[in-house]
Structure 1
Amino acid sequence: MTTQTADPTGMAETPAHGTDVTGGRARATLSASARASHSHSDSDSDSGYDSGSGSGSRTARVVRRTPADPVRVLMHRHRELCERAVDPLEIAAGLEAHGVTDRTAARFRHRDVFSLAEELYARVPRADEDDVPARAPEPREHDTSLPTAWAAYALLPGALCALTLLGADGLSGAARVAAVAAGVLATLAALLLCLRRGPLRADGYAPWARTGWLLLYAAAGDGVLRWLLGDGPLWAPSPATLVGLAAALAPAAWCGRLLTVQAHRRLRMSRGTQDFGAAVRPLLFGVFALYAAALALLLYGASRLGFGGSFAVSAVAVGALLFLARLLAVHGLPRAGATGLTLACAAEITVLAVLLAARLPGCEALAAPVRAVARGWGAGALPALACGAAALGLLAHAAVALSRASAHAGRRD
C-alpha cells in the first residue's frame, strides 16, 4: 500500500515503505520536472511576468525593466546634435545646455558628461560624412597670441583717434572740421573692422546707441554735470578718455583670445563640468583684471601725453563694462550684456534728468542726493557708480555663465 506525499511541484508519487525498481526512475522524473518548472518560471520572469503561488493559478505581474543600452535613448533624442558635431566637446556642450549633468550621466553608466559625449560621438555616424569638409587643425596649446594681421586691426582705432586729435590741433576753421570729420569716420571704420572679425566678433549684437551714449558721456558728460550743478562751464571735453578707450581695443582683443584659448585647453583637460567650472572662473577673473590694468595704464598715459583731460576712474568703469558686455556677447550671451549697458545708460540719463527737473520751481530737493555725491567725491563719481555697479553685475553673471562648457565649445576663432 502506498501513500501520496506532496513535494514542491505537487506532481510526484513515492512509496511509503521500501523501494522498488521504479524508485530511481521516479526520482529522476521528479528532478527533471522540477528543473523544467524552474526554467519555465525564469522564462516568465524575463518576459515581464511572475508566477504566483497559493491556489496554483498564475497572476500576471508587470516587472519594470531598464533598457539594456541606456545610451541608445540619448542617441535617438540628440541624434541631430551628434550627427552635426565635429568633436565630442560640442556634444558635451549641447548635452549640458539641455540640462544633462554629471549626476545625470551617472544614470547612463558614465562618470561625467564628457565621457558620455565621447561614447555618443563614437557611436553616432556623422551626417553625410563624404560631404563634410576636413576639420581644421587644432590650434597649438601654447599659441595664445593674436595673428599679425589682427594685431594691426586692433591697434588701428587708438592710432587713428590719436592722429585725429593731434592733427586737429594745428588747424582752424573749416580745415579743422574736415580733419575731425575724416578722422572720426576712419576711427569708426577701424572700430567696425575690429568688432566684426576676430576674437571680439559677436554676430547679431549691435548696441550702438547705448555704446555711443556711454562713450559720449565719458568724454563730455562730467562737464555737463558740473554745469548743471553750477560748478563749471558747459563744454569741458576730455579727449584723452576717448583715446584711451579706443586704444584699449587691442588689449580687449588679446584678452578675449586668451580666454578662448585657455578655456578650450581646460575643456580638453577637464573630466567633469564641475572641474571645468572651477578651472575657468579663476581664468575669467584673471583675464578681467589684466584688461582693467591695461585699460587704466592706457587712460593714464593718454592723459599725460597732452590730449586734454585728466585720468578718471569713471572711464575705467566704462571700459570694463563695455569689455564684459562684449565678452558675454562673443560667447553667445548678448542679452545680459545689453541689459548691463541699458542700466548704466538709464542711471546716467536719470542723474541729468533729475538735475534738470530740480531747476523747476519747488523741485530743488530732487537734486539734493546728486549734489551730495558730487560735492563729496566729485562729478565723476556718479558715472563711476553707475557703470561700476553694472560691470560688477556682469562680472558676477559671467562667472556663472562662462563656467559652462556650452559657452566655449562652439567658439572657433
Structure 2
Amino acid sequence: MSDAGTTRTGATGLTRRPGPADPVRTLMHSHRELCERAVDPLEIAAGLEAHGVTDRAAARFRHRDVFSLAEELYARVPRAAESDTDADTDADTTVPHPARSTDPRARWTLRTLLPGAVCAVAVVAPGHAGGAGGGVRLAIGVAGAVALAIALTVAVRRGPLRVEGHTARVSRLWVCWLLAYVLYGDRLPHLSAGGGPHGTSPLTDAAAPLLALAFAVAPAAWCAHLLALQARRGLTDSRGLAEFASRTRPPLLGLLVLYVLTLTALALLAELVIGADRGTGAGHPVATVALGALLFLARLLTVHGFPKAAATGLATACAVEALALVLATAGRVPGFETVSAPVRVLVDAGGAGAVPAVACGAAALGLLIHAAVALPRASAHT
C-alpha cells in the first residue's frame, strides 16, 4: 500500500510540475503568424530577433542560438495549402526583397544609368540653343529638370534601391530641399559674405554636382545589391546573431567606402569637365560627396526598414542649411551684421560649398553610426 501510494504521489507530482514541459510551444503560439508566413527558417530567425529574442534568450528554450530555434519552429508550425497558393500568386504580382530580386541585373543597371544620361543631355542642351532668348533657355532647363525627375523615379522604382510601399512625403520634401540647395542655397551666404554673383546662372553653377549625383545612382544600386547578397549569404552560413553581425558589418563599411570613393571620382571628373568648359572654377566636390553619401545612407536605411532614422538625418541637414540661410539673410540687415558671423567664417574658410558640406557631412556621419548598428541585424535583411 505504501509503495502504491508513493507511486501515485510521485506520478501526481510529475504531472503537476510547474512550467511547461515543452518551452518552445509557448513561443510557437506567440509567434504563430510569423512562423506560418515564413518561407524559410531565416525569416523566422530575423523576426524573433526583431521581437527581442537573442541567442542568450534562445538558451532558455533549450537551443544554442536563435537560428536553431527558428529551424524547430519552422518544422513544427504547419503552413496551409492556401497560404502556399497565395504566396505563389504574390510572387507573380509583387517585387520581392532586393536580396531575392528576380529582376535581371542588366535591366535595373540600365535603369540606374538613365539619370546620368538624362542629366548630361539637360546640361549640354542649353549650350546648343544658339542665340535663343532667355525664355527658350528657361523652357529647356525646366524640361530637363522634369526629365531628370522622371528618370530618377524609374531608376529607384525597381531593383536594389526599391522601397517596399511608399516613401514618406516628408522625406521626399527633405530630398527636394537638399537638391534645391545645390541650385540656389549657397548663393545667399556667398553674397552675404561680401562676394558677387558667380557663374552665369544657378543651373550652370550646379551642373557639375547634379551630373555627379545623377551618375552616382548606378554605383549606389550596385553597392546596395552587393550588400543584400552578402547579407543573404551570411544568413545561410551563420549560426548565431552575433556571427551574422560580424559577417555583415565589414562588407557594409567596405561598400560604403567604395561608394564614397566612386562618388568622389565622379565629382572631381564632373568639376574638371564642366568647370573647365563653363568657367565655374573648382566648384565644391566635397559638398557633392557629402550630399551623395547622405542620400545613399538614407535610401539604404529606408530600403531595409528604417525610414524614421533616414528622415531624421535628412531633416537635420535641411535644418542646418535653413539656419545658415536665415543667418546670412539677417546679416544683410543694418545693425545685425554680427548675426551672420558664423556663416561668414565658414564661407571664408571653405567657400560657399562649406555650408552644405558641413550640414550633409554631419548628418551622414550620424546615419553611418546608425547604419553600422542597425543593418548588421538579421531582421534588416528579410
Distance in 2, matches of 1:45 and 1:354, equals 78
CA shift at 1:84, angstroms? 0.9
Alpha-carbon contact 1:329-1:337 (below 8 Å) kept: yes
Moved more, 37-46 or 88-97: 37-46
More off after superposition, 341-350 vs 369-378: 369-378
Residue 233 to residue 129, structure 1, CA distance change in 2 (3 Å): closer
State the shift of 1:347 in Å.
Answer: 0.3
* 2:349 partner SS: helix
1:389 and 2:366 matched:
no
Q: Which residue of 1 aligns with 2:208?
A: 240
- Give the C-alpha shift of residue 129 in structure 1: 4.7
**C-alpha displacement of 1:311:** 4.5
- Structure 2 counterpart SS, 1:131: helix
**Residue type at the aligned position of 1:147:** R
CA contact (8 A) 1:226 1:379 kept: yes
Residue by residue over 1:165-220, the C-alpha shift from the partner in whole angstroms, topping out at 9 and shown as x without a partner, is: 11210112244333323222221111111122111111321422211221121234
CA distance 1:404–1:130, change in 2 (3 Å): closer
Question: How far did residue 312 of structure 1 move?
Answer: 2.1
**Match in the other structure for 1:250:** 218
Matched, 1:398 2:371: yes
Greater relative contact order, per chain length (Cα 8 Å cut-off, separation 6+):
2
Q: Tell me if the contact between 1:259 and 1:284 (Cα under 8 Å) persists in the aligned partners.
A: yes
Aligned pair 1:73/2:31, yes or no?
Answer: no
Is residue 2:266 matched to residue 1:266?
A: no
State whether residues 189 and 344 of structure 2, in contact with CA within 8 Å, keep that contact through their aligned partners in structure 1.
no
Amino acid at match of 1:156: L
CA contact (8 A) 2:188 2:329 kept: no
Distance between the aligned counterparts of 2:66 and 2:39, measured in 1?
17
Match of 2:258 among 261, 275, 290: 290
Which of 81, 99, 114 matches 2:52?
99
- 1:357-376 Cα offsets, whole Å, 9 max, x none, are 12333322211222222222
Select which of 143, 166, 174 maps to 1:204. 166
- Residue 170 (1) aligns with residue 170 (2): no
Name the CA distance, whole Å, in 2 between partners of 1:186 and 1:212.
15
Q: 2:350 aligns with which of 377, 381, 396?
A: 377
Aligned length: 360
Equivalent residue letter for 1:346: A
CA, structure 1 residues 284+145, in 2 after alignment: closer, same or farther (shift >3 Å)? farther
Flag structure 2 segments of 5+ consecutive residues without an equivalent.
Answer: none
- How far the C-alpha of 1:67 sits from its partner, in A, is 1.7
1:336 aligns with 2:320: no
Deviates most, 174-183 or 208-217: 174-183
CA contact (8 A) 1:223 1:232 kept: no
1:41/1:306 CA distance change after superposition, 3 Å: closer
Match of 2:220, as an amino acid?
A
Change (3 A) 1:404 1:387: same
- TM-score, length-normalised on structure 2? 0.88
Q: Which whole-Å deviations, capped at 9, do the CAs of 1:320-348 have from their partners, x for residues lacking one?
A: 00000000000111111111111101101
User: 1:281 deviation in Å?
Assistant: 1.3
Counterpart check, 1:151 vs 2:109: yes
- What corresponds to 2:141 in structure 1? 180
CA, structure 1 residues 379+130, in 2 after alignment: closer, same or farther (shift >3 Å)?
closer
Q: Which residue of structure 1 aligns with residue 191 of structure 2? A: 227
Whether 1:350 aligns to 2:298 is no
* Change in 2 beyond 3 A, CA 1:65/1:383: same
Give the C-alpha shift of residue 378 in structure 1.
2.6
Q: 8 Å contact 2:271–2:285 — kept in the other structure? A: no
How far apart are residue 114 of structure 1 and its match? 0.8
Residues 1:178 and 1:374: Cα distance change in structure 2 (over 3 Å): closer
What is the CA RMSD across the aligned residues, in angstroms? Answer: 2.4
1-side partners of 2:5 and 2:245: how far apart? Answer: 57
Deviating more after overlay: 316-325 vs 365-374: 365-374
CA contact (8 A) 1:145 1:257 kept: no
Aligned AA (1:101): T
Aligned to 1:85: 38
Q: Determine helix, strand or coil for the equivalent of 1:271.
A: coil
Secondary structure of the 1:86 match is coil
